[in-house]
Amino acid sequence: MITIHKARKRVLTFSLIAFCAFWLTPSFSEVGPIFFLLWFATFMMLFGSQVFWIGRVLDSAERSIPGPGAFGSVSPPQFSTSASSLRTTPLLSKCFLRVT
């Protein structure tokens, strides 16, 4: 179910896209009714697709960044003093911080 907040956000977004498309469309008297609608529809699709892709990129960025993103969630590396673990573990893996 769509909440009032989401509905208002969609109406505001659509209105902003329509205003920008109407602002860039040539006037009705310059190009006639058919080309006015053609230009308006083209600009609506262009601006609407950009809003769609910006939302998709931000959603995928949120999913690809692990953890809450705070420095408090990073723990120091765990070092072992036994000789067997030093031989079997690569040196570079001990240099990186482990996120918990």
Over residues 19-78, the pLDDT tens digits come to 988 898 888 888 988 999 999 999 999 888 888 788 788 878 777 776 655 555 555 556
Backbone angles phi, psi at 14, to 5 degrees: -60, -40
Over residues 5-14, the pLDDT tens digits come to 888 888 888 8
- Amino acid 79: pLDDT: 59
**Structural domain boundaries, residue 26:** 4-99
Q: How many structural domains are present in the chain? A: 1
- Amino acid 41: pLDDT: 92
Rounded to two decimals, what is the model's pTM?
0.50
- For β-strands 74-75 and 98-99, DSSP reports them as antiparallel
